Every structure is written in structure tokens, then in C-alpha cells.
Amino acid sequence: MSTTAKAFAALAADAPFEPFDFERRDPGPRDVAIDILFCGVCHSDLHTARGEWGGTLYPCVPGHEIVGRVRAIGSEVADLAVGDLAGVGCMVDSCRTCPACREGEEQYCEGAGFVGTYNAPDKHLGGHTFGGYSDHIVVDRDFVLRIGHDEKDLAAVAPLLCAGITTYSPLRHWKVGPDQKVGVVGLGGLGHMGVKIAAAMGADVYVFSTSPGKREDAKRLGAKDLIVSKDAEAMAGHVGSFDFILNTVAASHDLDAFLALLKRDGTMTLVGVPEDPHPSPNVANLIFRRRALAGSLIGGIRETQEMLDFCRDHGLVSDIEMIDAREIDAAYDRMVRSDVKYRFVIDMQSLKRPA
Ligand code: NAP
Ligand code: ZN
Ligand code: ZN
């Protein structure tokens, strides 16, 4: 039993997006069916659809920054009702029994790994999962988030489901707070949320960017200043001064330029996943000040709900540019040129408009 979903899919790594229909399962007792109203466009969607990481299953329907309205609930779902606003992020399931899952860190599931919202095996219907560039989705209640923001902000809430949690989780894990000097490398979708959230946590935030034209935006988002990372003199003025640096860059680059800016015991955490590896960092840069280079993957469901509530309480949403589904390829091309202010969000009503 299933219903037909309308979507946009990439049929191959070098093919443009095109309209695509597929089947979603009917909601089981623990499922929630959501009419998707908006879906953010993450750089991971681009890496996947264009085959940059390898392993892409086609047809590929990306999208893991999903917000919408509950259309139906299963008989065992007691805490969501038809008509509620709801969100779905990067995961739709996990083993639930391993230590990571039991601790609410499903993104680090030690069973078969978490089930991605797209490009993962679909145990219900076979084949692979399809994401949020579609008109509805059916997800286990345990992987559905509540949206507490005002409904008028719904489109700008969508990017919190990936860009928000991927920056919130490491900022929390490394205990960013007042009186700390925090750097955010790359002012794109993740970076701009990192700036907003770190500033709301009370840190002094600096943006490292390859785009000098983003300085005023960086300050408006909550940063003290923007440092042009290619300006050696500007970078030298900050050597040994940062407590924590969150690196969101989506391309291979020199990590030493940033590691040298950390204090003793400072950490730089990578969240960007470039197509090609970074050049190996200089060991001396790490050992002489006991600096750490770390990584972080999205965040668990419990922490995602905490992040959504934190953003609601602090009045935080994403800065978005709304697009139609037919504009996905053009949006991807602009994302490659770092020309995003600061997240594209697809208006899913556009699926219903004639071409
Ligand atoms: P995005 O919106 O395209 O932003 C990336 C930013 O990086 C750009 O706006 C640009 O900022 C900077 N940049 C791009 N190319 C660069 C280069 N060659 N050298 C230096 N800086 C460059 O991408 P996003 O959606 O924020 O995603 C960023 C990365 O995180 C992607 O690789 C994505 O797959 C990954 N990601 C990881 C996780 C996770 O769980 N770890 C979750 C989501 C996404 P400036 O103009 O300011 O330089
Ligand atoms: Zn993402
Ligand atoms: Zn698990």
C-alpha cells in the first residue's frame, strides 16, 4: 500500500533535475505522514546528486531540511496531531539498540549506521530512500521534529534541520560560551547558522571567508568581524588567539592557516566534507600547543529538538532565498560559486505549478 509522491530527481550525476514520481509507504502505526511545504538545499545534496562522493543511487531525490504539516498519523502516535507543523532532518531511522543510539546520538549508529533521509536502503518498500525535494514524506515518529517557531517563519526554519544542527552540535560539544573567541570558516549555509548560534551562546565570533564582500553580512549575522582568509597579514594578527574554530568549507584547502590561529588546547572541528582530501596538516602546528583537529556529524534527534527550541527561544532562523523546484540546477551552480545568501529553500508549492 502506497501513495504516489511528486518530486524532482537527478537521474544521473551529469543530468539536470527533472520531475519524477515515486511511491511512499502508507503510514504504519508508528509513522507520521507530512505534506512538505519547504525544503532547504544543502551542499551535501549537491555532492550527492552530482556523484562527488561516489555511491549515489539514482534516481536521486535529495533534501534533508524538510518542514511541513502533518497529514496523517499512525494509531500509536500520541504526541503529534494532524495539522501540526513538523520537521525531518538527515535521518529517518537507525538500529536504536547500539550504545550510540541509546545515548541519543543516532548519527553515530554502530549498527548498520543511520538510515539517511535520501540515498539509503529503504527497508519498507525496497530500493533506496527519497528525500525532501518532494510533496510528502512518511517517517517514523522517533525521527520527526516538532516546530515551535511561528508559522510565518516556516521556510526559514527548514535549514535548521541540517545547517542548524550540524553547527549547534559541535558548538555545544566543545562547550562554546561567553568570553570565548570562536571562528567560523566559510560563510555559506552552515557557516551563517554557526555564526548566529555561536553569537547566541555568548561567544565573540569571527568569520573567515574567501569573499570580502560578505563582511557587512557577517557583522549583521552576529560576528565581530570578517577576516579574509587569503590575506596573510590579517590572519597573522590572530595567531594563537582562538578557543574554537568551526570549519564548514566544502572544498579541499590548507588547514594549517587556521590551526595556527588556535590557542593552546584549542580545537578546530571540521564539518565540511570536500570531494578531495585536505592536504595533511603540519604536526608541529598541533603538538606545540596541544591543539586538536576534530570532526562532527550532524546531531542526534534529541539534540536536534533542543536546537530547534534554542533557535525559537533566541529568535533564530536562517537567511534564505526562496526558489522554485525548477531552479535547483541554477541554485547548485550558484552554491559552487559561493554565491548563496545564505540558504536556498525550495517552495514545494512550485511542484504543482505548470512548467
Ligand atoms: P555552502 O553553503 O556552499 O557553503 C560553503 C562555504 O565554504 C562557501 O559559501 C564559501 O564561503 C566557502 N568555500 C567554498 N569553496 C571554498 C574554497 N575553495 N576555499 C575556501 N572556502 C570555500 O555549503 P554548506 O551547505 O554550508 O555545506 C558545507 C559543507 O559541509 C559541505 O561539504 C557539506 O557537504 C558539509 N556538510 C556536512 C555536514 C556534517 O554533518 N558534517 C552536514 C551538512 C553539510 P566564503 O565565501 O565565506 O569563503
Ligand atoms: Zn545537509
Ligand atoms: Zn544504532
Tens digits of pLDDT across the chain (355 residues): 799 999 999 999 999 999 999 999 999 999 999 999 999 999 999 999 999 999 999 999 999 999 999 999 999 999 999 999 999 999 999 999 999 999 999 999 999 999 999 999 999 999 999 999 999 999 999 999 999 999 999 999 999 999 999 999 999 999 999 999 999 999 999 999 999 999 999 999 999 999 999 999 999 999 999 999 999 999 999 999 999 999 999 999 999 999 999 999 999 999 999 999 999 999 999 999 999 999 999 999 999 999 999 999 999 999 999 999 999 999 999 999 999 999 999 999 999 887 6
Residues 48 and 88 reside in one and the same domain:
yes
Distance 247 CA to ligand 2 centre (A): 15
CATH number at residue 260: 3.40.50.720
92's grid cell:
529517518
Residue 305 included in any domain: no
Model confidence, pTM: 0.98
Q: Which ligand is nearest to the CA of 344?
A: 1
Residue 32 lies in a domain: yes
Q: Are residues 172 and 136 in the same domain?
A: no
Q: Which domain holds residue 83?
A: 2-162+319-352
Same domain for 190 and 115?
A: no
What residues form DSSP beta bridges with 138? Answer: 33
**Pair 92, 163: CB distance under 8 Å:** no
Query: Whose CA is closest to 297, among 104, 105, 18?
Result: 105
| Structure letter (DSSP) for residue 128 | B
Question: Which residue minimizes the CA distance to atom 30 of ligand 1?
Answer: 272
Ligand 1: atom nearest CA of 252 is: 18
Closest Cα to atom 36 of ligand 1: 272
* Domain count for the chain: 2
Distance of CA 24 to the CA centre of its chain: 24
User: 251 CB less than 6 Å from ligand 1?
Assistant: yes
98 CB near ligand 1 (under 6 Å): no
Same domain, 35 and 81: yes
Residue 313 counted as domain residue: no
State the distance from the centre of ligand 3 to the C-alpha of 30, rounded, in angstroms: 18
Helix H or strand E segment including 100: helix 99-102
Nearest residue (by CA) to ligand 1, atom 35, is: 272
Task: Please list the helix, strand and coil fractions of the chain in percent, rounded to the nearest 5, in that order.
Answer: 30, 30, 40
β-strands 262-270, 242-247 pairing? parallel
